[in-house]
Structure 1
Amino acid sequence: MIVGYGRTSTLDQNAGLAAQERELTSAGCKKVFVEQVSSVDVTAREKLAEALDYIREGDTLVVTKLDRLARSVAHLVEILGAIEAKGATLRIISMNIDTGTATGKLLLGIMGNVAEFERSIMLERQREGIAKAKAEGRYKGRKPTARAKSDEVMKLHAEGIGGTEIARRLGIGRSSVHRIVSSQSAAAG
């Protein structure tokens, strides 16, 4: 059986997910697992785990692109090991790679290393750009959204509302509520 797996990083990428589903169906996938979750948080990828559990000997797991499946070579090796342990193969449509062949296995290893190398270079350039912007006084960082709501946090806290409920109402983290209340209480006391 040909099984597909599609993923986008955010809920805003619905069109990308739909395009992956169409491409996987066109590739002959009889069952498709899709999810919207960051590849960085590998523990949250429930549909990938389901797809890996679902495949059987002789099956092929199909993805549209390598970056939809794994972010690092280590993660790719782990996933590939799980696929091979089931007696299945992996096919990546955009690269025309099929691990059912020796050439496909070789190319996948090479491409995985190249993808990881490109990502590390991109992150390095990003860090350099941030450092340069900071040196020039142009980098402000992320706006402190929780601190901007300090007055609202303290008002709700004074009304006896708990930290979890305050966080929910204001759309901030519970730890941010605790930090604001603690710092305001320390400053007042």
Structure 2
Amino acid sequence: MLIGYEWISDTDSQAVQEAQRQALLNAGVAASHIYQDAEITQEERPGLQACLSTLQAEDTLMVWQLDRLVSSRSHLLKILQDLWQRNIGLKVLAGQGVVLDTARLNLKLAIDIIAALSELEAQVLRKRTMKAQAEARARGQQIGPHRKMTVAMLRQAMTAMAESKLSMAAIANEIGVTRATLYNYLNGDGSPKPAGKKLLAEAEDKENP
């Protein structure tokens, strides 16, 4: 059975919403088998949870574009592993993720590749952080948890959460803040909370006066 999932952002135009739904219908998904989350963060998605719970062995999960399903590489890896263990297929209809079609691609191979890339990126992030800390020590700066989040640190954390499988605690340690501080600015999926949005907006105003 084909099961569709769509996520609608609060910034999506009506045309984008219609394109997403039509793509699923054109691919053979019945309207009654499409689950949806609309205008909520990608961390709080009851529609996706219901969709994943409904899927059974030999079903195929259909999504329009990959970013409608996941918000980070670690999230993608988690979902792929779950689908593979339950013998469920995945097909992405458009965008960069269109290569994810289990009718043509071995899902376990995709999982192994993504896991390897995530680990590589995590190692690169650690090395960059260690180098930056060593340079700071050489300049006589004290290295330890910062009490205040900077926009540079926030952007680094958002990138790390989107591109690696590091935990929030590990990322907080990498950028030099406490986990509690990081949680004050970011959701678990890497999207900014109100404090994070404010910091980013203030930085943008300074960068583009």
What is the TM-score with the length of structure 2 in the denominator?
A: 0.49
Count of aligned pairs between the two proteins: 129
Which residue in the other structure is 2:8 paired with? 8
Q: Percent identity?
A: 28
Which residue in the other structure is 1:45 paired with? 45
- Cα distance change of structure 1 residues 128 and 101 upon mapping to structure 2, 3 Å threshold: same
**Partner-residue secondary structure (3-state), 2:91:** strand
Which residue in the other structure is 1:120 paired with? 159
Task: Report if the CA contact (8 A) 1:90-1:98 is conserved.
Answer: yes
Pick one of 31, 34, 37 that aligns with 2:36. 34
CA distance in 2, matches of 1:129, 1:46: 29
Deviations 1:15-61 (A, max 9, x none): 3222211110111113111221345x41x201111110111000000
Deviations 1:41-82 (A, max 9, x none): 41x201111110111000000111111011111111112222
Task: Report if the CA contact (8 A) 1:5-1:34 is conserved.
Answer: yes
Q: Indicate the structure whose relative CO is greater, using CA pairs within 8 Å and at least 6 residues apart.
A: 2
- Listed as ranges, the gaps of 5+ residues in structure 1 are 139-189
Offset at residue 8 of structure 1 (A): 1.6
Offset at residue 120 of structure 1 (A): 3.1
- Cα distance change of structure 1 residues 109 and 91 upon mapping to structure 2, 3 Å threshold: farther
Deviations 1:101-126 (A, max 9, x none): 54565567768969xx8x839x9xxx
- Are 1:97 and 2:97 an aligned pair? no
- Cα distance change of structure 1 residues 15 and 93 upon mapping to structure 2, 3 Å threshold: same
CA distance in 1, matches of 2:100, 2:208: 46
Return structure 1 stretches of 4+ with deviation > 4 angstroms. Answer: 100-114, 127-133
**Partner-residue secondary structure (3-state), 1:77:** helix
Which residue in the other structure is 2:87 paired with? 87
User: Match for 1:120: what amino acid?
Assistant: T
User: Match for 1:98: what amino acid?
Assistant: D
**Partner-residue secondary structure (3-state), 1:76:** helix
User: Match for 1:36: what amino acid?
Assistant: A
Task: Report if the CA contact (8 A) 2:73-2:114 is conserved.
Answer: no
| RMSD between superposed Cα atoms in Å | 3.7
Offset at residue 128 of structure 1 (A): 9.7
- Listed as ranges, the gaps of 5+ residues in structure 2 are 122-157, 163-198
CA distance in 1, matches of 2:60, 2:6: 14
Offset at residue 13 of structure 1 (A): 3.4
